[in-house]
Amino acid sequence: MTSQEELADLVAAVAERRDSAAFTRLFDHFAPRVNSYLLRLGASPALAEELTQEVMVTLWRKAAQFDRAKSSVGTWLYRIARNRRIDMARRDRSEPLDSEEANEVASEEPGADDALDSLQREDSVRAAMADLPPEQLALIRLAFFENLSHSDIADRLGLPLGTVKSRIRLAFTRLRRQLEAGGVDAAV
């Protein structure tokens, strides 16, 4: 696990040297968390993905504005994400904005019990993923580890979009069954 100090040092490297390796580590660490946070705020999966990309681009462009004395990197990024979500909802009046959304703050530091549960769940998910057919596993990796949209995956692999979606859906169904059989809450 990366410490708050290490994360702040990575942001400093991006700000000072445009260090792409540091940015990649920050992206790998925060993009899934920011995406999940936006989904919890009620964003659709497509909107959450779009806003996550915007947040990470903001990190790249405005890393010099981060002040480790004022907040942690996570708090800074979650605030950017929340503000982008609110701005997007204001622009698109057809989507109602939850009044509680503006006040919600992501908890960055999990408690010891939560951290242990998370590690155990991650181990269970890894084991379940190892049992997926190769074509499903490849799609899951592209979607969730490389953060590609279903359309991007279809383009990259030369598959019909419907095939990509159905294989991912089948993979989720298989993962859910394996996790539930193992006594893990399968909220995938």
Residue 120's domain comprises 112-181
Q: Are the CB atoms for 77 and 30 separated by under 8 Å?
A: yes
pLDDT for 131: 84
Asked if 74 and 139 sit in the same domain, the reply is no
pLDDT for 16: 94
Alpha carbons 156 and 159: distance in angstroms, whole number: 8
Tokens of 170: 């089948």
pLDDT for 107: 47
Asked if 94 and 122 sit in the same domain, the reply is no
**pLDDT per position in the chain (188 positions), as tens?**
568 899 999 999 999 999 989 999 999 999 999 998 888 888 888 888 999 999 999 999 999 999 998 889 989 999 999 888 888 777 766 545 554 554 554 445 554 555 555 566 777 777 778 888 888 888 888 877 777 788 888 999 998 988 888 888 888 888 888 878 776 655 54
Alpha carbons 81 and 48: distance in angstroms, whole number: 9
Asked if 126 and 148 sit in the same domain, the reply is yes
Between the two ends of the chain, the Cα-to-Cα distance in Å is 23
Q: Are the CB atoms for 103 and 85 separated by under 8 Å?
A: no
pLDDT for 118: 58
pLDDT for 105: 47
Please report how the helices 150-157 and 134-144 are oriented relative to each other, as an axis angle in degrees rounded to 10. 130
pLDDT for 119: 67
> Is 118 within the bounds of a domain?
yes
pLDDT for 177: 83
CATH number, residue 167 = 1.10.10.10
Domain endpoint, select from 75, 103, 131: 103
